[in-house]
Structure 1
Amino acid sequence: MMPELTPAQWSGRDDGPELEHRRWHHVINASMSPPGGAARRTDRQGGLAVIGFQSDEGVRRNKGRPGAADAPAAIRAALASLSAPDQLTACDLGDVSVAQGTLEAGQERLGHVVAAAIQAGHLPIVFGGGHETAFGSYLGLVGSGAVDGKRLGIINLDAHFDLRADPIPSSGTPFRQIAELEMAAGRDFTYRVLGISEANNTLELFRTASSLGVEHMLDEDCGSAALPTVMAFVDRFLEIVDTVYLTIDLDVLPAHVAPGVSAPASLGVPLEVILAICRQLARSPKLAHVDIVELNPRFDIDGRTPRAAARLVHTIATEHSALMWDVPTRPSTSPQPGIESL
């Protein structure tokens, strides 16, 4: 049974009813049933399903700066007036709200919503929330049956491993929790991280990552000039997994691009590189779930961080819609000029 969710609000610029004027707020449909159509589709029939996770309890427990609970509304507002990708079908299932002290119950509710969306044929995109969102996302993937008899691969765009062994779950523990459950289920823990800040992860965290077989690339090795190396890393990951979960922590971006996060990056990975990674993953039929986390509107400047988040979502939606409808998209072998100018 689907938990009760708080309905989401979408509004934005309206230039007229013609299709060429479509923006995201025109397309979002608060129904689990996708619009019909005569065009040929691939096996993904449901389009995108937006889900909000209003939580900063995990950030609070991890001694970070609260405020991520306000992020879903901020991302929707930044996304609403962007031009809708061709053939986009999407719905918004609403928000899972997490009261202080109820993180674990909130993660379970999120898991139920994610599972229902996947079972309905959608690609869920969760707007967190702190990175505690990830454990709820994982519960949904497992509950949906998407990993049954398949190798799950998690790729995290993040400055941090989030592999802490703290006794209480937080925004710093989700992938340690996932690793333990995957191993208990007799499955390999296939976890890759792009954008790790060597200065912001302790030696113990690097040792934990090594012991769990986690492969990573440092932020300083993910610059624009290194894009072919980054893309090769992503390709190798895609080759060895069957089901992909993409999780994007906005603190992977440089602080001038994403100031509105709990822990702004001193270096970060350029936005054009993160966009290229998202484009590559969204072109794969293996992509089953996405979340974007750690936006903290309280510390943002000029709407920069939600606009960056919206651009990432728009890119994923564009590529996924093209895949679903089996239409061509432009090639992407190098960063696009001006992409950082949101």
Structure 2
Amino acid sequence: MTINMSLWQGRVDEEDGDKGARLHQKIQPADKASEPGIMLMGFACDEGVSRNKGRVGAYAAPNEVRKMLANLPWYDSRPFYDNGNTPCDDHDLAKAQKLLANNVTDALRQKHFPIIVGGGHEVAWGTFQGLANHCLQKNTTTPPRIGIINFDAHFDLRAPSGQSAQGSSGTPFSQIADFCQHRGWPFHYACIGVSRASNTQALFDRAELLSVLAIEDKHISAESLSTVRDKLQGFMSQVDALYLTIDIDVFPASTAPGVSAPAVHGVAYPLVESLIEDILSAENSDGTMKLTLADIAELNPRYDIDNHTARLAARLIWTIARSLSGPTHFQGVM
């Protein structure tokens, strides 16, 4: 794990005092963390996308997102920490995911809110393992009710096989489903924005077998948003903790060109942001927010245009972070 604080640079408006502050002026290295806050982690990895026969380049995403985040305004939110990058430099994806999982577990134990920036969507298996480890450390006899909400054009429910026996960017939610089955945990998975043109019938069949809430991209519009919102609310009411994962290829290629697999249809950003705001406002009966951690996947700076996609990823993180500035508290899984 390496932390490069020199990436955090931007404009300084001294004449506006603290109300003119930007994130680069407030971010702190993780080793300076003195109270619970937002813990940003990078997962610098191309291995999963390579195994899934996609366009590599996501390795550079975490640092590019930091550069775009740096100049965004600060709104008196919780402390914001940078925990550096967990790299996958030796093709050992399982090891890198395990290292990421350990970092996530540590952050949750310290009552931070982890936001992880991949890398390909193989980041999700590392993120979930960290959350699962945290649940196991709670040593409760009742299986946790975790809901996974994935904004994605793809199910990523492929079964690990062949060269990718240890997983790829296309297998994380299949790996999570298998983990839950072996542990006797319920598997609650919603895939929002999935594309019929980007998933085989076998994947749709597997999603149905696993009782996945699947909402296709073509069914998400301004006119249908209330219906989608109702379905999402019903899903969230069944769980106590939420894991939000956003694959940037859920957006149209015109909005997010810098991804491994650009979307022809996609879902418009304002619609996704509106649904994310619903997720951010979901609470348990004791007032704790259900959202426990989040990650961003599949940003590929190699194919980006004028940092459009990196700025989009930064905006998503900023939106999540800003929502944590209010009185609602987060404290990991119950």
Shorter-chain TM-score above 0.5: yes
1:166 lines up with 2:170 in the alignment: no
| Partner Cα distance (2:327, 2:171) in 1 | 33
How far did 1:128 drift? 0.5
Deviations 1:48-84 (A, max 9, x none): 1000000010000000000000000111111110111
Q: Which has the higher mean CA deviation after the structures are superposed, 86-95 or 180-189? A: 86-95
Partner of 1:133: 123
**Contact 2:256-2:309 at 8 Å conserved across structures:** yes
Q: How many Å separate the matches in 2 of 1:179 and 1:196?
A: 18
Q: How high is the TM-score relative to the length of structure 2?
A: 0.90
Aligned-pair identity (%): 41
CA distance in 2, matches of 1:270, 1:118: 32
Contact 1:253 1:271 in 2 (8 A): yes
CA distance in 2, matches of 1:180, 1:323: 37
1:325 is displaced (CA, Å) by 6.8
Q: SS at the partner of 1:259?
A: coil
Range that drifts further, 225-234 or 188-197: 225-234
User: How far has the Cα of 1:31 moved from its partner?
Assistant: 3.0
User: Are 1:262 and 2:260 matched, yes or no?
Assistant: yes
Q: Which residue of 2 aligns with 1:41?
A: none
Q: Aligned pair 1:151/2:155, yes or no?
A: no
Cα distance in structure 2, aligned partners of 1:178 and 1:319: 27
Superposition TM-score, scaled by structure 1 size: 0.88
Q: Which amino acid aligns with 2:170?
A: G
- Cα deviation for residue 230 of structure 1 reads 2.0
Residues 118 and 296, structure 2, Cα contact 8 Å, conserved in 1? yes
Q: Which amino acid aligns with 1:63?
A: K
- After superposition, residues 55-204 of structure 1 pair within 5 angstroms as 55-145=45-135, 149=142, 150-167=144-161, 168=164, 169-204=167-202
Which residue pairs with 1:330 in the alignment?
Answer: none
Does structure 2 conserve the Cα–Cα contact (< 8 Å) formed by 1:47 and 1:324? no
Deviations 1:161-208 (A, max 9, x none): 000013121000000000000010001110000000001100000001
Mean CA deviation greater in 96-105 or 221-230: 221-230
Q: Is 2:77–2:324's contact at 8 Å kept on the other side of the alignment?
A: no
Q: How many residues align?
A: 314
> Is the alpha carbon distance of 1:110 and 1:128 closer, same or farther for their aligned partners in structure 2, counting shifts above 3 Å?
same
Report the Cα offset of residue 102 of structure 1: 1.2
Q: Which runs of 5+ in 2 are unaligned?
A: 283-288
Contact 1:128 1:293 in 2 (8 A): yes
CA-to-partner distance for each residue in 1:221-250, whole Å, 9 max, x for gaps? 112222212221221121100111000000
2:246 to 240, 245, 248: 248
* 1:307 corresponds to 2:306: no
Q: Distance in 2 between matches of 1:288 and 1:228?
A: 24
Amino acid at match of 1:226: S
* Helix, strand or coil at the partner of 1:292: strand
CA distance in 2: counterparts of 1:91 and 1:112, whole angstroms: 17
CA contact (8 A) 1:224 1:270 kept: no
Aligned-CA RMSD value: 1.7
CA distance in 2, matches of 1:76, 1:227: 31
Letter in 2 for 1:154: I
Q: Among residues 51, 60, 65, which one is paired with 2:41 in the alignment?
A: 51
